[in-house]
Amino acid sequence: MSEKKFGAFMEEAGVRGYLAKPAGGPAPLIMVFMEIWGINDHMQFVCEKLASMGFAAFALDFYDGALYATTDLAGAVGKLKTLSDKGIMGSFAHALNHLKTRKDVLASKLGVMGFCNGGRLAFLASESYPQDVQAAVCFYGGGIDNPQDQLGRTSVLGGVSQIKGKLLLCYGAKDGSITPDEHGRIAEALGRANKRFTLSVFPDVGHAFMDQAGPAEAKATATAWKMAEHFLGEALKGS
């Protein structure tokens, strides 16, 4: 990725987050759902990476600026539990409606992307706003359908019939929090609903492999980004 910086924090009309845009005019928009830590350096990197690929990217800050270190799991989980799916989806809709008024992004060409809990939220957004979301990339989306979910999140498979866009779901084979059984339930629900999806499992890596060091993680991350770029390009750019 280029060292060029494409983005900065934005706060407008009650919408807060990190916005990155490529040079050369308006580009298809990717709304990014963060992990449980807030809009940290990795989420900013994700937006910069997407902008380097020719997409506008906006990471929605529904924590209102709160940040948690990756060592502070209790604090981050405590913050997340103060929020509801309905409230977060409402924040997403408000942000999207504002971004539709801007001339420097193409919100009519919309994808969503999420990591960990954000992967679940990206999946939920594709169900909740099917007329808007044309593509969803869910990286190790925890809690999409886990009856033993430690955060108390409920399954979102009940709304798959509403999805109109394409989905790309990526998991680590050694992710103890998202088991192959869950992969199977997700694939079965989407298949039965006649939806377009790709589910890919990466060997030798666990949860959050795109934010970790190590040769296996680096290889999986590089491949996952290539897959996402191709998937989003096909869905939003027709290339």
pLDDT tens profile 44-74: 999 999 999 999 999 999 999 999 999 999 9
Residue 95 lies inside a defined structural domain of this protein: yes
- Give the CA distances from residue 182 to residues 69, 140, 143, 187, 201, in Å, rounded to whole numbers and listed in that order: 28, 11, 9, 9, 12
Residue 20 lies inside a defined structural domain of this protein: yes
Q: For residues 58 and 7, what is the distance between their CA atoms, to the nearest angstrom?
A: 9
Percent of the chain residues past pLDDT 90, beyond the cut = 92
Is residue 189 within 8 A of residue 160, CB to CB? The reply is: yes
Parent domain of 68: 7-237
pLDDT at position 25 is 83
Is residue 9 within 8 A of residue 43, CB to CB? The reply is: no
- Give the CA distances from residue 5 to residues 22, 43, 50, 54, 64, in Å, rounded to whole numbers and listed in that order: 9, 14, 11, 13, 23
Q: For residues 233 and 239, what is the distance between their CA atoms, to the nearest angstrom?
A: 5
- 177-186 average pLDDT score: 96
Residue 1 lies inside a defined structural domain of this protein: no
pLDDT at position 42 is 96
Q: For residues 67 and 28, what is the distance between their CA atoms, to the nearest angstrom?
A: 28
Is residue 40 within 8 A of residue 79, CB to CB? The reply is: no
Which pTM was predicted? 0.96
Residue 154 lies inside a defined structural domain of this protein: yes
Residue 134 lies inside a defined structural domain of this protein: yes
Q: How many residues belong to the chain? A: 239
Q: For residues 49 and 121, what is the distance between their CA atoms, to the nearest angstrom?
A: 20
Residue 119 lies inside a defined structural domain of this protein: yes
DSSP reduced 3-state for 221? helix
Tell me how many domains the chain contains: 1
Residue 239: pLDDT band with limits 50, 70, 90:
low
Q: For residues 134 and 116, what is the distance between their CA atoms, to the nearest angstrom?
A: 20
Residue 128 lies inside a defined structural domain of this protein: yes
pLDDT at 26 over 80: yes
CATH assignment at residue 140: 3.40.50.1820
Q: Which of 200, 118, 192 is nearest to 167 (CA)?
A: 200
Residue 150: pLDDT band with limits 50, 70, 90:
confident
Residue 2 lies inside a defined structural domain of this protein: no
pLDDT at 1 over 50: no
Strand pairing of 56-60 and 133-139? Answer: unpaired
Q: How far is CA 221 from the centre of its chain?
A: 15
- 141-170 average pLDDT score: 95
